[in-house]
């Protein structure tokens, strides 16, 4: 094979208008554009040809450029606007990730939601926009911008009217040139790209959520080349043929009063067991139980009926036929127990085969998306139980592990989970006192979830305050029992490791939550997240590369301390994981309060900064943290009060970006005794270290009229700035007298500090310019 030299390829504008996304085609007629090329691709024929419009441009630079184009629909209906990147097929046959950055879209003749990309959802994606693999917002001088490539288009559906011309204006720039590395000639024996896509879709539909471990994941091509393709996944239905059925023999031993039931070596079929009190069911060294069903519909396989029950040293699998029956309906349970005490599950193994797990993932798809949710079923459901211990177990290729509802004193420790489509431990509704520790997870969506009820303020089924309120000791059967007000209590999670899931631990409506000394890598949401919780401590964890942020505090969290953590953003792995440090998220007018973020180390190894992103808060104190290539970013649609003291902000990037951006909607800012150091001596003069932005756009004024008033307060005192040409900038104050209250005293700085003359309510004293 002959190696070819690397070459550099510049990003371009590439936009698709798709009027062929539904059965009713919307034909599109291209309009004029001075800088863009509009055409109907030749690979579509007939009406499909007229219903698909491509918009392309020349090579982009790293500076924003303005573009405008128009088109006229010949039919009324829904079309898709897809922002994409330059199409380039690499020498190995794969599409190149050539990133184009878009922002400030303006449209006439139709309506577009979130056109400036400033509104983000729970997992950090853009509200109203959709993509195949998810998108990572890019912080630019315009705020949040969209960075896309042709394999991960950012799409929004818009309604158009026949013969009404639509004009779209936008800004675009290159993210960076794409350098195609030297590669050997293609090996024709490898599967085609389409076959690999299909295999990946069945095994792990999102690119970031593969089936295999990270060690195997380091060589994707090798793994994909050997994987069975989705079109070949067929369950046999007779996987228990010729197995000895010991169901009746075991049940007779249990019914006879035998308390310690030892199962001999061998592989046996089990269809239905009822376990009485004071029983230990234990396997021998090479015992394997195959759960099966002789019924036309699913029935629970094992029922625990008494206290002091132990399952130990069991290796459990299920038949293809039983899996098919589990898929007939959501929320089945293989094993159940209710109203019991002292339940122990120890050294138990459970695994679907790889083929079964692919079928499990394909069993249900989220409507209207490519997301494969899978039918939910639980290995063990315990209700109204006390003193539960799950230890030294190994779960692989499963839907849901263990769920507890209204249970007390639950231990889950020293377990391994690999390839879990949903939760390993679901600590649910009214449950209290859980210790979750020393567990290891790879590709488990949520290793631990505590769930005390829905805290979503947008849930119209919940009357005011119900998203926040909980009532302890409320039980099923009680008058006015409401599952969404049950709460969960006393959650202690420590010394766990998780990689390639959605979170390591998260929960909602919990009270008294402690999460400490855990390690997490590559999560497709956040490593640690609390939503609608109170009295939360997140301390001494290591969080590396998560999509939305390393740590999150959502909705109306109250009394949250985030301290002593290390949040790293490494410039390795998939782009989707390179999110923010912390996210304080808000929705529908709710926000967290009494939040302290102190003594943390935040480090970004990217070529752009990362932030504590403040969407909206009641109040937050950010104190004593060290930021390397990052800082504090506020959302122009957010709000609240921020106190930031004694933090250190270090820049090592060549473009010297702003590290603190405070938008006008923040009512009060106290910024004291912080230190800014530019360690990159070769960096070009860049943006101000701190930006105080007072801009109120028409869109913001219409959606958040509280931003129009000038009753904002900014106090900056005792701060030190070294290496910035502009330490503090006052942006978008206009020319008329601007009455915002600003206290600017006792700051030490290099460069130039200028306060606009029209800001007539400023105390500007004792600021010292170094070298003057």
What tens digit of pLDDT does each residue of 122-164 get?
A: 777 888 898 876 777 888 888 889 999 888 889 999 999 999 9
pLDDT of amino acid 220? 39
Q: Which residue has the tokens 């990217």?
A: 606
pLDDT of amino acid 399? 94
pLDDT of amino acid 702? 81
The band of 227, judged by pLDDT with boundaries at 50, 70 and 90, is very low
pLDDT of amino acid 462? 64
Strands (DSSP E) found in 330-431: 332-338, 341-346, 349-351, 377-383, 386-391, 394-398, 400-405, 408-413, 416-428
Q: Residue 670 pLDDT more than 90? A: yes
Mean pLDDT for 336-342 is 98
Mean pLDDT for 27-36 is 91
Domain ranges of the chain: 7-180, 193-232, 239-428, 636-772
**630 DSSP β-pair partners:** 610
Q: Residue 633 pLDDT more than 50? A: yes
In whole numbers, what is the pLDDT of the chain averaged over residues?
Answer: 86
Pairing of strands 280-283, 309-312: parallel
Lowest mean pLDDT among 197-211, 431-445, 489-503: 197-211
The band of 680, judged by pLDDT with boundaries at 50, 70 and 90, is confident
Rounded to an integer, what distance in angstroms lies between the CA atom of residue 484 and that of residue 35? 54
Rounded to an integer, what distance in angstroms lies between the CA atom of residue 281 and that of residue 343? 12
pLDDT of amino acid 234? 54
- Identify which of 117, 119, 122 has the alpha carbon closest to the alpha carbon of residue 553: 122
Rounded to an integer, what distance in angstroms lies between the CA atom of residue 292 and that of residue 322? 6
Q: Residue 371 pLDDT more than 70? A: no
pLDDT tens-digit map of 67-110: 999 999 999 999 999 999 998 877 666 778 889 999 999 999 99
Mean pLDDT for 218-245 is 52
The band of 685, judged by pLDDT with boundaries at 50, 70 and 90, is low
Lowest mean pLDDT among 32-36, 368-372, 420-424, 556-560: 368-372
Pairing of strands 666-672, 713-717: parallel
Is the four-CA dihedral 653, 654, 657, 660 of positive or negative sign?
Answer: positive
Mean pLDDT for 584-604 is 89
Q: Residue 206 pLDDT more than 60? A: no
Higher confidence at residue 367 or residue 21?
Answer: 21
Alpha helices in 285-416 (DSSP H): 320-326, 354-361
**Residue 740 Cα distances to 167, 378, 700, angstroms:** 37, 57, 18
Q: Are 356 and 323 in contact (CB under 8 A)?
A: yes
**84 DSSP β-pair partners:** 14
Residues of the chain with pLDDT > 70, as a percent, come to 88
Higher confidence at residue 209 or residue 740?
Answer: 740
Apex 532 CA angle, 527 and 537, nearest 5: 55
Mean pLDDT for 524-537 is 94
Higher confidence at residue 467 or residue 553?
Answer: 553
Rounded to an integer, what distance in angstroms lies between the CA atom of residue 643 and that of residue 614? 12
**Residue 22, token pair as written in the block:** 């539904």
Q: Are 439 and 412 in contact (CB under 8 A)?
A: yes
Q: Residue 297 pLDDT more than 50? A: yes
3-state secondary structure at position 507: strand
pLDDT of amino acid 398? 94
Pairing of strands 630-634, 377-383: unpaired
**Residue 42, token pair as written in the block:** 């030749």
**C-beta atoms surrounding 752 within 10 Å:** 12
Mean pLDDT for 439-452 is 95
- Identify which of 528, 500, 523, 323 has the alpha carbon closest to the alpha carbon of residue 420: 500
Mean pLDDT for 264-271 is 94
Q: Residue 60 pLDDT more than 70? A: yes
Three-class secondary structure assignment of 34-68: CCCEEECCCCCCHHHHHCEEEEEEEECCCCCEEEE
Mean pLDDT for 327-343 is 93
Total number of residues shown for the chain: 772
**Residue 401 Cα distances to 422, 427, 697, angstroms:** 8, 11, 49
Q: Residue 171 pLDDT more than 50? A: yes
Higher confidence at residue 462 or residue 410?
Answer: 410
pLDDT of amino acid 479? 86
Lowest mean pLDDT among 10-14, 183-187, 233-237, 691-695: 183-187
Q: Does domain 7-180 have CATH number 2.60.40?
A: no
Residues of the chain with pLDDT > 90, as a percent, come to 62
Rounded to an integer, what distance in angstroms lies between the CA atom of residue 696 and that of residue 118? 13
Higher confidence at residue 371 or residue 504?
Answer: 504
pLDDT of amino acid 181? 65
Q: Residue 370 pLDDT more than 50? A: no
Q: Residue 570 pLDDT more than 60? A: yes
Is the four-CA dihedral 85, 114, 171, 667 of positive or negative sign?
Answer: negative
pLDDT of amino acid 372? 59
Mean pLDDT for 270-294 is 95
The CATH class given to the 239-428 domain equals: mainly beta
The band of 436, judged by pLDDT with boundaries at 50, 70 and 90, is very high
pLDDT tens-digit map of 300-331: 999 999 999 999 999 999 999 999 899 888 78
Mean pLDDT for 54-65 is 93
Lowest mean pLDDT among 96-110, 453-467, 502-516: 453-467
**Residue 702, token pair as written in the block:** 């219409």
Mean pLDDT for 372-399 is 93
Is the four-CA dihedral 258, 261, 266, 267 of positive or negative sign?
Answer: positive
Q: Residue 233 pLDDT more than 80? A: no
Q: Residue 420 pLDDT more than 90? A: yes
3-state secondary structure at position 373: coil
pLDDT of amino acid 125? 81
Q: How far is CA 341 from the centre of its chain?
A: 37
Three-class secondary structure assignment of 684-723: CCCCCCEEEECCCCHHHHHHCHHHCCCCCEEEEECCEEEC
**Residue 392 Cα distances to 142, 211, 251, 312, 450, angstroms:** 51, 22, 26, 10, 21
- Identify which of 372, 413, 391 has the alpha carbon closest to the alpha carbon of residue 211: 372
pLDDT of amino acid 200? 42
* HSE (side-chain half, CA atoms, 13 Å) at 363: 24
Please give the helix or strand (H or E) that residue 631 lies within, else none.
strand 630-634
Higher confidence at residue 681 or residue 644?
Answer: 644
């Amino acid at each position: 094979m002959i190696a070819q030299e690397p070459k550099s390829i510049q990003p371009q504008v590439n936009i698709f208008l798709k009027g062929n996304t539904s059965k009713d085609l919307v034909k599109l007629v291209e309009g004029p554009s001075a800088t863009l090329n509009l055409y109907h691709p030749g690979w579509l024929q007939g009406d499909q040809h007229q219903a698909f419009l491509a918009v392309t441009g020349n090579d982009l630079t790293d500076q924003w450029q303005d573009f405008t184009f128009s088109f006229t629909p010949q039919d009324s209906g829904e079309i898709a606007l897809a922002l994409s990147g330059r199409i380039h097929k690499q020498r190995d046959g794969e599409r190149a990730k050539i990133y184009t950055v878009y922002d400030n879209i303006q449209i006439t003749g139709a309506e577009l939601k979130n056109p400036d990309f400033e509104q983000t959802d729970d997992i950090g994606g853009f509200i109203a926009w959709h993509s195949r693999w998810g998108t990572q917002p890019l912080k630019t001088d315009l705020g949040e911008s969209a960075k896309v490539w042709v394999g991960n288009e950012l799409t929004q559906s818009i309604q158009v009217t026949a013969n009404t011309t639509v004009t779209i204006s936008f800004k675009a720039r290159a993210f960076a040139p794409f350098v195609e590395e030297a590669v050997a000639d293609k090996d024709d024996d490898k599967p085609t790209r389409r076959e690999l896509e299909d295999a990946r879709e069945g095994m792990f539909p999102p690119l970031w959520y593969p089936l295999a471990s990270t060690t195997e994941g380091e060589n994707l091509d090798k793994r994909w080349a050997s994987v069975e393709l989705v079109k070949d996944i067929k369950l046999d239905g007779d996987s228990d043929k010729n197995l000895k059925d010991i169901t009746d023999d075991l049940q007779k031993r249990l019914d006879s009063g035998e308390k310690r039931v030892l199962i001999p070596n061998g592989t046996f079929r089990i269809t239905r067991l009822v376990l009485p009190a004071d029983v230990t069911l234990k396997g021998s060294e090479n015992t394997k139980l195959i759960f099966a069903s002789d019924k036309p519909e699913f029935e629970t396989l094992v029922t625990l009926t008494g206290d002091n029950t132990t399952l130990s040293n069991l290796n459990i699998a299920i038949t293809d036929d039983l899996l098919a029956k589990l898929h007939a309906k959501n929320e089945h349970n293989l094993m159940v127990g209710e109203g019991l005490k002292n339940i122990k599950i120890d050294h138990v193994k459970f695994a679907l085969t790889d083929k079964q797990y692919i079928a499990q993932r394909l069993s249900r798809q989220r409507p209207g998306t490519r997301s494969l949710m899978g039918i939910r079923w639980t290995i063990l459901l315990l209700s109204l139980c006390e003193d539960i211990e799950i230890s030294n177990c190994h779960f692989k290729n499963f839907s849901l592990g263990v769920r507890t509802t209204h249970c007390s004193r639950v231990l889950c420790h020293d377990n391994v989970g690999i390839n879990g489509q949903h939760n390993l431990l679901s600590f649910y509704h009214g449950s209290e006192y859980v210790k979750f520790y020393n567990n290891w997870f790879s590709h488990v969506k949520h290793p631990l979830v505590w769930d005390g009820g829905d805290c979503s303020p947008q849930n119209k089924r919940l009357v005011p305050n119900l998203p926040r309120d909980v009532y302890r000791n409320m039980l099923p059967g009680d008058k006015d029992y409401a599952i969404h007000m049950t709460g969960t209590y006393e959650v202690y999670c420590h010394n766990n490791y998780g990689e390639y899931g959605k979170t390591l631990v998260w929960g909602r409506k919990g009270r008294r939550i402690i999460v400490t000394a855990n390690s997490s890598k590559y999560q497709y949401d956040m490593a640690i997240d609390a939503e609608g919780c109170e009295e939360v401590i997140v301390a001494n964890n290591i969080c590396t590369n998560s999509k939305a942020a390393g740590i999150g505090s959502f909705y109306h969290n109250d009394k949250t301390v985030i301290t002593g953590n290390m949040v790293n953003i490494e410039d390795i792995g998939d782009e989707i994981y390179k999110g923010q440090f912390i996210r304080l998220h808000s929705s529908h007018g709710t926000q967290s309060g009494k939040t302290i973020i102190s003594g943390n180390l935040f480090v970004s190894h990217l070529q752009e900064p990362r932030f504590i992103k403040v969407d909206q808060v009641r109040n937050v104190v950010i104190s004593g943290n060290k930021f390397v290539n990052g800082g504090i970013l506020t959302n122009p649609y957010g709000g609240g009060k921020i106190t930031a003291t004694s933090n250190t902000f270090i820049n090592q990037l060549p473009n010297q970006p702003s590290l603190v951006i405070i938008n006008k909607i923040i009512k009060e800012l106290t910024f004291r005794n912080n230190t800014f150091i530019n360690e990159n001596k070769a960096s070009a003069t860049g943006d101000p270290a701190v930006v105080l932005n007072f801009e109120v756009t028409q869109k913001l004024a219409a959606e958040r009229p509280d931003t129009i008033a000038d009753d904002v307060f900014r106090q900056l005192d005792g701060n030190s700035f070294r290496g910035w040409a502009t330490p503090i900038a006052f942006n978008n104050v206009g020319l008329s007298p601007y009455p915002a209250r600003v206290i600017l005293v006792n700051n030490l700085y290099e460069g130039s500090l200028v306060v606009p003359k029209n800001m007539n309510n400023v105390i500007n004293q004792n600021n010292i310019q170094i070298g003057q």
